[in-house]
Amino acid sequence: MSGYYRFVCAVPQVVTADIRHNVSQMAELFCQASENGAAAVLFPAQSLGGYSCGRLEIFPHFLKAERAALQQLAEVTEKYPSILVCGTSEGKVAVISSGVIHYTESDSTVFTDGNIRISCALPYRRACDMVRNSGGAHVVLFPYAGTDTFFSVNARRQELAVFSRMLNAYCIACGAGASNTTSSGVCAGQALAAFDGKVTAENRHFTREPQLLCFDVDFERAEYLRRQDMQFWNNSDREIAVTMPTVDELKYAPVSKYPFIPEDESELHLYAESIVKTSACALANRMVSSRSKKMVLGVSGGLDSTMALITCIECCKELGLSNDAVVAVSMPGFGTSDRTRDNSLAIAREFGTELKYIPITDAVNQHFKDIGHDPADTNVVYENSQARERTQILMDIANQCGGIVIGTGDLSEIALGWCTYNGDQMSMYAVNASIPKTLMRQVIKIYAAACDAELRSKLLDICDTPVSPELVPGKQFTEEIIGSYDLHDFFLYNFVRYGDAPEKLLAQACRAFAGVYGKEQILNSLETFFRRFFISQFKRTAMPDAPNVTGIMLTADFMPSDAGGKLWLDQINELKKQVK
């Protein structure tokens, strides 16, 4: 596996204006980082002289000593394949590689080894300038120096996260440390890395000790995002060839079990509220534009129909309608359990919807008789007949009351094709189509916290109910059939968002789920994911309209319905041979 580069932020312990002391500190930190596999070592601006030396920085003797110190660092870089990056007192950025010093005076100067592209942001540049002049870099380095407070540290964290999303690049910043002069303030020594709108690594602030912050970069991910936005395509004014080592694994890169779910609790609550509000707003627009009077949906006592019901209730608030504008239809079949049936009826009543109870067993048995199917044969005909019977009922009720049928299928099911074509796959507006199963459970739990005790207990019980289609009598658990949704959502996010190949997905999943799932189990789920993902595009091609409220949604134009997954499945087969 290739394409991984290790970047290191080095915050030295400096003595103001003592360039000889400072250069020795920098050389020592550079050697440590290089021996740990660093491709590039980023130092703060003004590291050689310290921040701030005031008017000393313009004295010829000071500048001559700083240039001599840079030459000393250049000699150190001859022993290692790593590059060294630091800001100078003259407002330039020095990039030193294999003994050669390059001064960058433009944000769009790019350093490349033929794969990864690196640019250095000059101090005090505006964000709009950087977007125009980033040189199509996969990694943008920000050496800076300045005094800090709690507010400036927090602002820089948010700013770098925004830059990483705007630039479709890894953004790495390194600031002057607390050992600098405190005549007019204190430097935080903040070092951090961000990618795709999130801060992914950060050091301790306001400490005098020297620090190294390591962060591994997957340049293929940045390349994949960049290819979707051609304004970032290699628009450099100068390219300089350098050599940089790669690393075999992402040792210093965070990996989340649940990439759809924010790890910060307060952020998760805001995100959950946003999903509900955005979905409801989208549905309200569709109700108005279609001149519909009612929202019709099937309620099963499962996660998907509960999430869709919540969206309908919030839509009523948005439009100023009473909750009986929602027609909730419970349609128990051959495999419906008492638990899910009772929960579906309870929440429909608690929300004040117009509730209809229509068992489908007699109608489906008549259908079996009409087509000559043996009811004892619980095959795909047995299962799908129930799904299509329910869809027919919902469509006809919608026609009766001048309403639209609200689809309940979620992103996880849509990705795997875990739905019946022209059954639960079809509706008039699919409100859950961009919400994966793992995230949906969290959204419902957070929504439940604001409900009264009776409704809250039912919603939480639904969250605790094992996922099941309940199409055959007895226990039928989805995750026993197709594998864990935790794994499938992990594969889905990293494949669709970043274009990760099976080999990379396996390595990342083994890290994320260490101690939870074994490598062989993960590999089997990975094969299931890709096999089902490719053969199910025809279902996604015929999907109804749906709002994208999470940033990831599988639309008809994602790929052709007849696209083959052999390229991905072949790699999985090779991985299976290695495991055996």
CA atoms within 13 A on the CB side of 128: 0
pLDDT digits (tens, 9 = 90+) for 480-496: 999 999 999 999 999 99
The pLDDT value recorded for residue 235 is: 64
- How sure is the predictor about 60, in pLDDT bands with cuts at 50, 70 and 90? confident
pTM assigned to the model: 0.93
- How sure is the predictor about 347, in pLDDT bands with cuts at 50, 70 and 90? very high
Element (H, E) at 6: strand 4-11
Cβ neighbours of residue 208 under 8 Å, at least 6 residues apart? Answer: 13, 177, 178, 179
The pLDDT value recorded for residue 123 is: 57
Instruction: Work out whether the CA dihedral 499, 308, 344, 356 comes out positive or negative.
Output: negative
pLDDT digits (tens, 9 = 90+) for 168-210: 899 999 999 999 877 778 999 999 999 999 999 999 999 999 9
Average pLDDT over residues 509-530: 97
Same fold, 4-241 and 265-483: no
According to CATH, the superfamily of the domain at 4-241 is Carbon-nitrogen hydrolase (3.60.110.10)
Element (H, E) at 461: helix 453-464
Check pLDDT > 90 for residue 3: no
Q: Cα Rg for the chain, rounded, in angstroms?
A: 29
Give ∠ CA 104-60-29 in degrees, rounded to 5.
55
pLDDT digits (tens, 9 = 90+) for 288-307: 999 999 999 999 999 999 99
Residue 254's closest CA among 192, 206, 212?
192
Residue with the two structure tokens 């915050």: 11
Residue 275's closest CA among 310, 304, 241?
310
At 400 the three-state DSSP class reads helix
Least confident of 24-33, 56-65, 328-337: 56-65
pLDDT digits (tens, 9 = 90+) for 452-471: 999 999 999 999 999 999 99
Q: Which fold has domain 265-483?
A: Rossmann fold (3.40.50)
CA distance 431 to 269: 20
Domain ranges of the chain: 4-241, 265-483
pLDDT digits (tens, 9 = 90+) for 423-432: 999 999 999 9
CA distance 145 to 177: 8
CA distance 85 to 67: 14
Q: Which segments of 226-336 are extended strands (E)?
A: 238-241, 294-298, 326-330
Check pLDDT > 50 for residue 124: no
- 193-196: long-range contacts at Cβ-Cβ below 8 A with a sequence spacing of 24 or more? 193/7, 193/9, 194/160, 194/161, 194/163, 194/164, 194/170, 195/164, 195/169, 195/170, 195/171, 195/221, 195/222, 196/164, 196/165, 196/221, 196/225, 196/497
The pLDDT value recorded for residue 553 is: 96
- How sure is the predictor about 227, in pLDDT bands with cuts at 50, 70 and 90? confident
